[in-house]
Amino acid sequence: MDAKLRRIYRAMERKLDELAEGRLETVLGRCAEGEATYPSRDKFADDPALRRLLWRVGLVRRNCSAANLYDTVCAIAQAAGQRRERARRVLELYCSPADGIRRVVCDEQPRCEECPLAPECKFFHRTPNITDLPADQRPRERLLAEGEGALSDAELLAIMLRSGTQEQTAIGLAHKLLGRFGSFRALATKSAAELSSVKGIGPAKAAQVKAALEIGRRLARQKATEPGRKLTDSQTVYDMYAPRLRDRRKETFLVLLVDTHHRVFREITVSEGTLTASLVHPREVFNEAVRDSAAAVVCVHNHPSGDPTPSDHDIQITRRLHTAGSTLGIHVLDHVILGDGTYYSFADENQLPRQRRDDG
Question: Is residue 360 a part of any domain in this protein?
Answer: no
pLDDT in tens, 83-134: 888 899 899 999 988 888 888 999 888 888 889 998 888 877 766 566 666 6
pLDDT of residue 357: 43
Say which CATH number the domain at 326 has.
Answer: 3.40.140.10
pLDDT of residue 127: 60
* Residue in 302, 226, 138, 40 with CA at minimum distance from that of residue 146: 138
Q: Write the CB contacts of 284 (distance below 8 Å, at least 6 apart in sequence).
A: 270, 271
Question: Is residue 352 a part of any domain in this protein?
Answer: no
Statement to judge: residues 6 and 121 lie in one domain: yes
Q: Please compute, for residue 206, the number of CA atoms within 13 A of its CA located in the half-sphere on the CB side.
A: 15
pLDDT of residue 95: 92
- What's the farthest any 2 CA atoms get from each other in the chain? 109
| Residues 297, 333 contacting (CB under 8 angstroms) | yes
Burial code of 226-238, b = ≥16 C-beta within 10 A, e = fewer?
eeebebeebebbb
Statement to judge: residues 242 and 339 lie in one domain: yes
Is residue 301 over pLDDT 80?
yes
Compute CA distances 254 → 81, 139, 194, 336, 344, whole Å. 84, 39, 28, 10, 15
Q: Of the ranges 56-60, 147-151, 246-250, which is most confident?
A: 56-60
pLDDT of residue 310: 94
Give the number of domains in the chain: 3
Select the more confidently predicted residue: 124 or 135: 124
Compute CA distances 302 → 55, 85, 188, 289, whole Å. 60, 78, 16, 21
Question: Is residue 19 a part of any domain in this protein?
Answer: yes
Tell me what the mean pLDDT of segment 330-339 comes to.
94
Tell me what the mean pLDDT of segment 46-71 comes to.
91
SS (H, E, C) 72-134: HHHHHHHHHCCCHHHHHHHHHHHHCCCCCCCCCCCCCCCCHHHCCCHHHCHHHHCCCCHHHCC
Is residue 331 over pLDDT 50?
yes
* Residue in 32, 8, 17 with CA at minimum distance from that of residue 100: 17
pLDDT in tens, 8-45: 999 999 999 999 888 888 888 766 544 445 667 877 88
The least confident of 26-35, 60-69, 254-263 is: 26-35
Length of the chain: 360
* Residue in 12, 201, 200 with CA at minimum distance from that of residue 106: 12
| Residues 300, 268 contacting (CB under 8 angstroms) | no
Compute CA distances 278 → 161, 199, 334, whole Å. 44, 45, 20
Is residue 330 over pLDDT 80?
yes
Statement to judge: residues 170 and 278 lie in one domain: no
pLDDT in tens, 260-292: 988 888 888 888 876 554 467 788 889 889 999
Question: Is residue 156 a part of any domain in this protein?
Answer: yes
DSSP at 230: B
The least confident of 51-65, 108-122, 304-318, 320-334 is: 108-122
Q: Rounded to an integer, what distance in angstroms lies between the CA atom of residue 30 and that of residue 92?
A: 14
Q: Rounded to an integer, what distance in angstroms lies between the CA atom of residue 159 and that of residue 155?
A: 6
Q: What residues make up the domain containing 289?
A: 226-345
| Average pLDDT value for the chain | 85
Is residue 225 over pLDDT 80?
no
Among 221, 246, 280, give the residue marking a domain's end.
221
DSSP at 41: G
Among 206, 221, 236, give the residue marking a domain's end.
221
pLDDT in tens, 169-207: 788 888 888 888 888 878 888 889 999 998 889 999 999
Task: Using pLDDT thresholds of 50, 70 and 90, give the confidence band for residue 335.
Answer: very high
Say which CATH number the domain at 190 has.
Answer: 1.10.150
Question: Is residue 68 a part of any domain in this protein?
Answer: yes
* Residue in 300, 290, 293 with CA at minimum distance from that of residue 334: 300
